[in-house]
Structure 1
């Protein structure tokens, strides 16, 4: 074997190793670097008041991203989560008289029903996930606006408002809720039979059918979980903003969730779910938005930066899969 061939093989191996390290740990390194840059530019960034603001904004996105990670793990996509947030928001004023428990029950049931419909379209009708959830997104958003009377409504239910504004040990309660959901999602993926089935279905659905896995049940379940988490995020959004506005709440949330999942290292091709990476991805994207906003960078430039990050993350994921 010639020296040139050996050198080329070494370069290829080094490139593959670098891509693997980037896929595994890149988001964590980027998160640390971005945090240090944010603090260097403005030392008030680490003040508790600012941290609370960032956590209030992060919690709903993280909840939706956790559900999205499970769906993407099955080689699917759920574009309806933003509309489910709007639907959950629309029922808050209707069930405010039943207290926080009534509001949560109604919202979560609607989220589960929406997820079940989307999952059934994918599992039984075998409609492409992007088409099934796109149609669901349009229909659910319209239903939410009808339920809410096509107008924003103030929310005065004390339990809902407390859920969206209360802090525990200086940390927003909604951030604690998101953290618990992240922990439970990680345990679901890593420690349960369902988690192993989910990964197997995403890795090779046909092999799952042939090996006797409950493929349809797995698919419906992940979409139901995604719908429930999105509905919970909707209640938190309403509680924090003290207003139910289905026409605007949840807009682009599906894109934010997909970004967090992809940046966190979960491949769009399925077969793997990185829960901790999803949390880091959500934190990373929130930090980028916060830093650019605090330095008066226009929203359009923020979107360009986010688009570039998504492209880079997907490229790294595809390169690793090819190797």
Structure 2
């Protein structure tokens, strides 16, 4: 591990000033991803600015009925919050599925969004990786890729984003607030993560030196009838091989509103808008759920060893929406 400096910030403007213009400095939240990458030599910051003491650890209702979640709220506190559990249950479920209690107690909301999109080749500094060393290649294309992307990837990178929380936030149109030396700004989560394209090392649209301050969930009535389902290769905590955040509003047997987001299929949480559009106004039955999933997955480009994800995601859509439809009919 490279020797590094350490400073603790106590207010937002001070934290931003400490990082301003220093390309080798990083903000430190819980450190559950950054410190791991520092130990393996993937990340080599010269200085860490600790933001855990910033006054950003509250979850508060917004004036329009949404919810504002501070960036240093821990994953444990997010999952346990009564407003999250009642109005956005899929978010609480996603956080609980994401990591062990020890990690949830440390990991922060802002840090969760900024964890690196990665695979085994990224973590191995002896391997080529376009994310770590732009232009060096992507060995996953012809190597180990059974848990890699099937949507939105490119010939430069096929890694998947690991966040469970991010999938639920994507389904509910979350907005990320941040602060820079030039003032505050906002990014819808739909625009927060950049497409892979030819620059997979550029992962988010945050301006240089920006500090995430909050995530806001707009009022979303359908979110109260939501569920998160994660499929993984072992029962203990592991990255998903496929996941879904779904919400469904059914009246008189017809879909009035629906939200769908997929995890572990792309370099970012994948909002399934094509499937959503196909379902609005349609009968809430397995046939239509499957047809909607097929429209979303029609453009999937699986590699030789991860084609199973197409079937997996189709089955997840049918199963989870079917459960939500049955609950609505009771």
Normalising by the smaller structure, the TM-score range is under 0.3
Q: Which has the higher strand share?
A: 2
**Structure with the greater relative contact order (CA < 8 A, sep ≥ 6): 1 or 2?**
1
Could you say which structure has the larger radius of gyration? 1
Q: Which has the higher helix share?
A: 1
TM-score, normalising length from structure 2? 0.24
TM-score, normalising length from structure 1? 0.25
